[in-house]
Chain A
Amino acid sequence: MEHQRRLQTFMSTLIASPEARLAVIAVLVFGVMAALSPDRFLSAQNMTSMAFQFPEFAILALAMTLTMLTGGIDLSVVGIGNLSAIIAATLLTTYASAGLTGTDALMWYGLAFGAALLVGASAGLLNGVLIAVLGLPAILATLGTGLIFTGLAVVLTNGSAVMGFPAVVAFLGNGLIFGIPVPLILFAVLAAGLSFVLTRTGFGLKVQMFGANPLAARFAAIDITSMLLRVYISSGVLAAIAGMLVMSRANSAKADYGSSYLLLAVLIAVLGGVNPYGGYGRVIGVVLAVLSMQFLSSGLNMLGVSNFSRELIWGALLILVMIINTRPDLLNPFNALRAKP
């Protein structure tokens, strides 16, 4: 009996918060995949390749998390990422020849990166103005601007890819620092940064409180307009960084890169426990959701399951987690045993 009670307490703690449940899922997925193909899944090569793959959409998921916390959404992230990358790419191909090396290349790359961030920030500002000042619903405002950004990217490039960069461009997406993939480091820094902002700054607290009750936020004299502007600008900047990462990995920029990432970013944020109606969400949950997704898709890939089945499994995972979050009692076997008729 004592044993059973202790197990019961352990189970209850384990399933108490959505993040704890996600951690269990991540570990489970990792364990199962490692057991199914230990040599390949646990190989250093696989670990590195996973670390190169997920940061680009995971960064978009961070942007989505931030906007969802306010009860909004940013459907324009992929558009912003591509437009920013295309502007940077165009600058590079115009002023820095592909053979350029050394400080000159670095300088031009720095300038191009700066331009991309500026484009991301301006695009985010436009979203912010539409939502905070003009009062458009975020879902429609960013749907509209997403079309505009993608459209501008098409107009600028006629729909074809921009390529031919100096070698330094490749580092962000393909380099290693002390053996650790640069994209992973970039994501870790951004995730830690967002987590810090959300928990340790007044801005982060305001974001969550506004998401919980916009009307009360107004009555509590929170500077809502400036808060929302900063949220969407940050989202735009994150999208631009993701765009630069994609550009580096693909060694080119194109208007329709990463079109499947939008849905994926929303999926990850929601899977990570972020309430899409605002007010609740933790970065750790989003990180765990990203890891679960990546373990799952790499593992399945090794088992020879087609790419498309990942989409199926992601969707199923999302629904499963939602059901468990809504009815956590279904998860505890002791509750199930005691279930009333």
Chain B
Amino acid sequence: MSQMPVAPDLVSFSGVTKTYSGITALDGVSFVIKRGEAVCLAGENGSGKSTLIKILAGVERPDRGKIMFSGVEQVALNPRLSAASGIKVIFQDFSLFPNLSVAENIAFSAEISTGATWFNRARIQTLAAATMKRVGVELNLNAPVETLSVAHKQLVAICRALATDAQLIIMDEPTTALTEKEVRALLTIIRRLKADGVAVLFVSHKLAEVLEVCESVVVLRNGKKVADGPASEFDAAKLTRHMTGRDVASAAPTPIDQSAPELMRVEDLGKAGAFESVSFALHQGEVLGISGLLGSGRTALAKALFGLVAPDSGSITLDNQKIVLGDPLKAAAAGIGYVPEDRLTEGLFLLQPIARNVAIGRLEAHTAGGGMLNLQSLWGETADWLKRLKVKAANIEAPVRSLSGGNQQRVVLARWLARGPKVLVLNGPSVGVDVGSKAEIHEIIAGLSAQGLGVIVISDDLPELLSTCHRILVMKEGKIIDDVAGNAITEVDLAHRLAS
């Protein structure tokens, strides 16, 4: 063994620094990736992960530092050179073509790199089929990609990365959209790739699930490497501690008053193909968690509570008043608020000012005769709510896009809280939010509960559910299969019930 010649590391970074107009995004970062090795690159949003991906992909050039691929220094890396060296990035959105077939999506970039003029369908089919076989997946080659599930789209993206000679696959936030079962399937594929000698770099702020297939871990914070070492030395808690630089306590919430009156009652709610006979009650001040894997019907149920999905049967009663189903306007008027899962597309008007993003929920309340707005009271109230939720913004007339994920989420929360809702439905309240802001959002939830609001948290983030919810409903295949008290269950137990 000791006689084997030492092959140079596949990728080596030493002292890489990158600044954008004075702000240091990466500060003297060094690490190596060996052949056939899986590496976890963990860090909060804004820690420099995306800059690092861009440098590896050749999109950005570092200000200082040395990058070597297989022992050869890369002084003028560009996207084509990087791809030719076998570095393949799988972006979070997969960058696929929804209108093209699976085969074309897989083999298109390979064909382009050959510089072909003619489109050879047979060659494309062969290459796609061969790649899928190597990765061990089976999909209909001719199906348009838009008809595939998220997990299958990811498989297509992986196959595309592997269709041409790949040495390193970089996966940006690989597990956010996957169910636990799909993550298992992904890990199986990763093991296979590693056996083939392909290295994998996972980049994410939520990496506990992939730790088991990784050899080593690198943690970034504020552009600096703050920890690295063999994956066996890390667990979820340790990762979080390094990512945030502090311990995030996850204590169960303060129990609610047993005599709290019932606020909302959902009876026998059903929607063909999504969920059936869902019944539960929500009390004043109660935080109710609804969990389940993707496809368990949790998102459809959340939307149905707010009227975005029209149920086929059942009823929702709020304060003894039946709510008209399937109409968000009626639900909002009755006092239900909804913070959507995808903040960027569903929650925010990105290019519009921060203040307007909050005020849009309160236009009716500040309308005088003739439809005229009382601007003074509207902007006054808006500024007040932004202050109460501690939104850090230099100028509330700036586009909301300029805010960090955590602050953006608080803007959406402010919009709904300004309306004084009775029940707030939060779908994935801390998705894409850094760990520090996450704790603060959980504090806000606890505060709402103390004020007597009913809160429904839909999430698959188990520590989040355990630290915020008084009661947790577990959904599976459209039905509620479990109703457990939040303080009476451990994370492991809850995970088991979800996956069972």
B329–A216 touching, CB < 8 Å: no
B residues less than 8 Å from A254 (CB atoms)? none
Given contacts A201-B367, A209-B356, contact A219 B340 (CB under 8 A): yes
Q: Mark B356-377, 1 if CB is under 8 A from A, else 0.
A: 1001110110110001110100
- B contact residues, range: 20 to 34
Residue count of chain A within 8 Å CB distance of chain B: 22
A201 — nearest CB in chain B belongs to which residue? Answer: B371
Given contacts A205-B356, A279-B352, contact A219 B347 (CB under 8 A): yes
9 contacts between A and B (CB under 8 A): A202-B371, A205-B363, A212-B349, A212-B350, A212-B351, A213-B349, A213-B352, A216-B348, A220-B360
Task: Return B283 CB to nearest CB of chain A, in Å.
Answer: 24
Give which listed residue, A213, A219, A280, contacts B350 with CB less than 8 A: A213
Contact between chains at B352 and A202 (CB < 8 Å): no
C-alpha spacing A215/B342, complex, angstroms? 11
| B415 interface residue (CB < 8 Å to A) | yes
Question: Contacts A200-B372, A218-B328, A279-B351 known; A206 to B360 CB distance under 8 Å?
Answer: yes
Contact with B along A190-205 (1 / 0, CB 8 A): 0000000100111101
CB-CB under 8 A from A202, the residues of chain B are 363-364, 366-367, 371, 373
Q: What A residues does B371 contact at CB under 8 A?
A: 197, 201-203
A222 at the interface (CB under 8 A from B): yes
- Which 7 A-B pairs have CB atoms at the shortest separation, nearest pair first? A202-B363, A221-B332, A212-B349, A201-B371, A219-B346, A213-B349, A221-B328
Q: Complex formed: what's the CA distance from A206 to B362 in Å?
A: 11
CA distance A220 to B375 in the complex (A): 20
Known contacts: A200-B375, A201-B367, A201-B372. The answer to whether A216 contacts B349 by CB under 8 A is yes
**Bound complex: CA A219 to CA B416 (Å):** 11
Known pairs A209-B356, A209-B360; list 11 more (Cβ under 8 Å): A201-B367, A201-B371, A208-B352, A215-B346, A218-B328, A220-B360, A220-B361, A221-B329, A221-B332, A222-B360, A280-B351
The interface bits of chain A over 206-232 (1 if a CB of B lies within 8 angstroms of the residue's CB, else 0) are 101100110111111111000000000
Residues in A with CB closer than 8 Å to B359 are 205
B308 within 8 A of A: yes
Q: What's the nearest-Cβ distance from chain B to residue A184, in Å? A: 26
A275-328 with Cβ < 8 A to chain B: 279-280
- Chain B contacts of A215 at CB under 8 A? 345-346
Q: Which residue of A lies closest to B328 (CB)?
A: A221
> In the bound complex, what is the Cα–Cα distance between A197 and B372 (angstroms)?
8
Q: How far is the CA of A217 from the CA of B348 in the complex (A)?
A: 9
Q: Within the assembled complex, what's the spacing in Å between the Cα atoms of A220 and B372?
A: 20
Is B202 interfacial (CB 8 A cutoff)?
no
CB distance from A7 to the nearest CB of B (A): 24
Q: Could you tell me the distance between the alpha carbons of A203 and B340 in the complex, rounded to whole angstroms?
A: 23
B338: contacting residue among A203, A219, A279, CB under 8 A = A219
Can you name the residue of chain A whose Cβ is closest to the Cβ of B348? A216
Q: Are B352 and A219 in contact (CB under 8 A)?
A: no
A220 and B415 in contact, given A201-B367, A206-B360, A209-B360 (Cβ under 8 angstroms): yes
